[in-house]
Amino acid sequence: MTHTIFIDGEAGTTGLEIRERLEARNDLELILLGERRRDVAARREALNSADAVILCLPDDAAKEAVSMIDNPSVRVIDASTAFRVDPAWTYGFAEMDAGQRAAIAASTRVSNPGCYPTGFIGLMRPLVRAGLVPASHPVTVNAVSGYSGGGKAMIAEFEAEGASTAYRAYGLTQKHKHVPEMTKHTGLTLPVLFAPAVGNYRQGMLVEVPLHLSALPETPSVERLHGALLEAYEGQRFVEVADLDETEAMTGIEPEALNGTNRMRLHVFGDRGGEQARLVALLDNLGKGASGAAVQNLNIMLGLDEATGLT
C-alpha cells in the first residue's frame, strides 16, 4: 500500500531533510506543490487529501495550517514548537516511555520534539522517574549545536565569505522557547536553566547536564545514574547508552560523530567514587533532533517498521 505524504514547508532546512529521506521510498508518494506552495487553495487541498502531513513551518503558520485541515483521517506531525506542551497532541519521542509508541501510533496529532529537548529529556526523564533526581531539583543544561539549527538565515551567516564567528552563546534572557517543553516532559517542577550555544560547524550537537551528586538524595553514584539510563533504553534501536568503561577512556567527545543518523548516544561521565557527574547526549540536530525523528514518527503512525528509510 502506498501512502500519500504532504510536507508543508518543504523548502526549509527541516523540510528539505525530510523530503530527501522520503522521496527515495517506493511505499510513499509525496504531494509536491512546487511553485504553488504559497497558494492557499493548493495547500488546503494537499493538507486535506494526504494520508499524513508533516508541518515544517514557524509556530503561527503551523497553527494556521492545522486550522485548515477538516478531514479527520489526516494524520499530522508538527515540527514547530507550537504544540509540544499541548495536552491534545502526542509528544513524538517514541523512546520516552514504554507506552509512547502506542500513543503515537493511535494519534492523529503528533508534535515532533525539539533537538535540544530530545537530548535533555533523554538524559533526565529516566532519572526523575527513578527518584534519583527530585522533580523539584534545580537543573542546568548546557548545549551546543551546529549552525544548521538556526535555519536558513544562520546558515547563510556562518557560511558567508569572510565569516569569522567561531562560537556564540545565545538565549541569554532565559526565555528560550524550548524551556517549557524540556521542563514538562522530564517531570521537573522548576523551569530548566537552559544555556544554549552555536558552533561554527554545520550540524551535530552535544547536550550536557552537570550534577552535584552530593546535592541529591542518597548521593547516587555514577553507576546508579548509568543503570537507570540503561534500564530506560534497553532494546531501543535509536537511543543507546555508552558503556561506563568506554566513557571513562574518552578524553573528548565530538558533536558531529552521529551526523546523518537517527541515533542518540547518552554518556555518564564522572569519577565512580566522586560527587559530581556530567551527563552528555550526542545526536544530529537534523537527525534524531528533527527530520529523523519526524520520519520515525511517520512510520509509527502509518503502521510501518519505524526504521524504514532511516538506516
* Residues noted as catalytic: 115
Question: Which candidate, 224, 294, 227, 286, places its Cα nearest to that of 259?
Answer: 286
Q: Are 153 and 100 in contact (CB under 8 A)?
A: no
**CA 73 – CA 301 distance, rounded (Å):** 12
**CA 252 – CA 254 distance, rounded (Å):** 7
**CA 157 – CA 150 distance, rounded (Å):** 10
77: left (phi over 0), alpha (psi -120 to 50) or beta: beta
- The residues facing 8 across adjacent strands are 55
Residues 6 or more apart whose Cβ sits within 8 Å of residue 97: none
Residues 6 or more apart whose Cβ sits within 8 Å of residue 280: 123, 206, 207, 208, 209, 253, 266, 267, 269
Question: Which candidate, 47, 41, 42, places its Cα nearest to that of 62?
Answer: 47
**Cell numbers 537511543 correspond to what residue?**
239
**CA 153 – CA 244 distance, rounded (Å):** 40
Q: Are 302 and 52 in contact (CB under 8 A)?
A: yes
